Amino acid sequence: MIRLLISNSRKGDIGLIGLAVMGQNLILNMADHGFTVVAFNRSVEKVHNFLANEAKGKSIIGAESIQDLVSKLKSPRRVMMLVKAGEAVDNFIGQLVPHLEAGDIIIDGGNSEYQDSERRTKELAVKNIRFVGAGVSGGEEGARYGPSLMPGGNKEAWPFIKDIFQSISAKADGQPCCDWVGNDGAGHFVKMVHNGIEYGDMQLIGEVYHLMSAIGVDQDEMADTFEQWNKGELDSFLIEITRDILRYKDNDGKHLLPKIRDTAGQKGTGKWTAISALNYGVPVTLIGEAVFSRCLSALKSEREIASKRLPGPTSKFGGDKKKFLDDLKQALYAAKIVSYAQGFMLLREAAKVHNWELDYGAIALMWRGGCIIRSVFLGEIKKAFDKDPNLSSLLLDPFFLNAITKAQSGWRNVVSTAVNIGIPTPALATALAFYDGYRLERLPANLLQAQRDYFGAHTYELLGQEGKFVHTNWTGKGGNVSASTYDA
């Protein structure tokens, strides 16, 4: 067997476990910024191949075991894992701990559930090991040339990893797209919300693409439209790559996109965001619809049968195509604002529950470069929270209020047109429904409360007498005893 060569005096600044593409690229990024990295993979042959090829000539050391990895690190030892979330993370932690000392640091850079990071932070603190759950966004290219990094967990670890993380992260206006997020599971919670917003953005763009097809816009014209949009307020990574995907042609000279099966996969972070929104009682409706839309897409065989049996509207689009494309742009922009507004509402509520001191402007800055949802208006989000750190909703900030006011007419036309011609727009429509619900002083929840009190004696509050819960004997037969839990 080829042995891994290393000078006895050479020690690594950080170790990294997991040599899939993301892991390799992150190691190369660290090495490019002057750090010595110790690389380990469960399959040692993969370590050998990496050192002989991509890592050749760089400040990268190989390790053949967990013990070997730890022995080659400077103190305090810093070990980062990029492995599958869940059991694999706990297994590697279990292998690492016997070889570590008090003050050493374990970093989980995978897409772990924030509750797991919360648990691991506490469990390892008892053993005097500092745990960091770090969200890493940007895909393969981001890992190689500058990701967005969202570290949280044991804050005592931050001074020892700050230089590495901020050096390798993406930069926006010269500032690193990385800062300490908060304690326990805060880093992975922020990454989870980031991924939820990503689900929403992708669904919105998919609905716009669907509507473009429905009104007879060909792919080349779609690509040109997205290119124009990417020069203005919709400037973003996802708009940019959508343009490229629309233009891409297969070996036969035909566009590749129509050949791709219309069933979308998911790895769970969007679902976790929707579940968290329900748990915290925050109406993150757009992300929820984006998750359910992927679930609906998976019912391909059922949809094929239903398409032959279920009738739809007979109306066809007969409007001005150019004007409708302008309306689509406004609808996409307005719904995107709602998506981010909902995401930050969820962050705020979770911060209250967990006593996290989240800096929302800093989070927006972290997302401005290197990550999948990077877009030009994240700078405006940062400005909004810099002006008012206690802002309850982005919709109330003057910049976004003005933007959504201008976009409203086109947005409503797009949703109503989609309904009339039978094209589903769950994300565009639910964003509008949320906006309309949020802007109304009165909603029909008074009837819901009356219904709940009628059948379950759950009580209600009267206007002007908030905090006083009363029950009505609606039928004259129900009695005057009420339920003890208003929220049941």
Asked if omega into 76 is within 30° of 0 (cis), the reply is yes
**Cα 421 to the chain's mean position, in Å?**
31
The reply, when asked if residue 210 is annotated as ligand binding, is: no
The reply, when asked if residue 315 is annotated as ligand binding, is: no
What's the residue count for the chain?
488
The reply, when asked if residue 169 is annotated as ligand binding, is: no
> Rounded distance, CA 283 to CA 17, Å?
38
Of 46, 191, 329, 336, catalytic:
191
The reply, when asked if residue 433 is annotated as ligand binding, is: no
Q: Which amino acid does the sequence have at 371?
A: C
> Rounded distance, CA 301 to CA 308, Å?
12
Q: Which amino acid does the sequence have at 312?
A: G
The reply, when asked if residue 352 is annotated as ligand binding, is: no
The reply, when asked if residue 261 is annotated as ligand binding, is: no
Q: Which residues of 418-431 are buried (b: 16+ CB within 10 A; e: fewer)?
A: beebebebbbbbbb
Of 198, 233, 289, 380, catalytic:
198
Q: Which amino acid does the sequence have at 372?
A: I
Active site residue 198: yes
Q: Which residues of 254-282 are buried (b: 16+ CB within 10 A; e: fewer)?
A: ebebeeeeeebeeeebbbbbbebbeebeb
The reply, when asked if residue 84 is annotated as ligand binding, is: yes
| 131: CB partners within 8 A, 6+ apart | 105, 106, 107, 108, 117, 120, 121, 123, 124, 125, 153, 154, 157
Pick from 119, 3, 27: nearest CA to 81: 27
> Rounded distance, CA 280 to CA 13, Å?
40
> Rounded distance, CA 48 to CA 64, Å?
9
The reply, when asked if residue 456 is annotated as ligand binding, is: no
The reply, when asked if residue 190 is annotated as ligand binding, is: no
| H or E element, residue 133 | strand 130-137
The reply, when asked if residue 83 is annotated as ligand binding, is: yes
The reply, when asked if residue 99 is annotated as ligand binding, is: no
The reply, when asked if residue 374 is annotated as ligand binding, is: no
The reply, when asked if residue 338 is annotated as ligand binding, is: no
The reply, when asked if residue 458 is annotated as ligand binding, is: yes
The reply, when asked if residue 199 is annotated as ligand binding, is: yes
The reply, when asked if residue 42 is annotated as ligand binding, is: yes
The reply, when asked if residue 280 is annotated as ligand binding, is: no
Provide the annotated active-site residues.
191, 198
Residue positions forming the annotated binding site: 18-23, 41-43, 83-85, 111, 137-139, 194-195, 199, 267, 294, 452, 458
Query: Which parts are annotated binding residues for NADP(+)?
Result: 18-23, 41-43, 83-85, 111
Q: Binding site for substrate, residues?
A: 111, 137-139, 194-195, 199, 267, 294, 452, 458
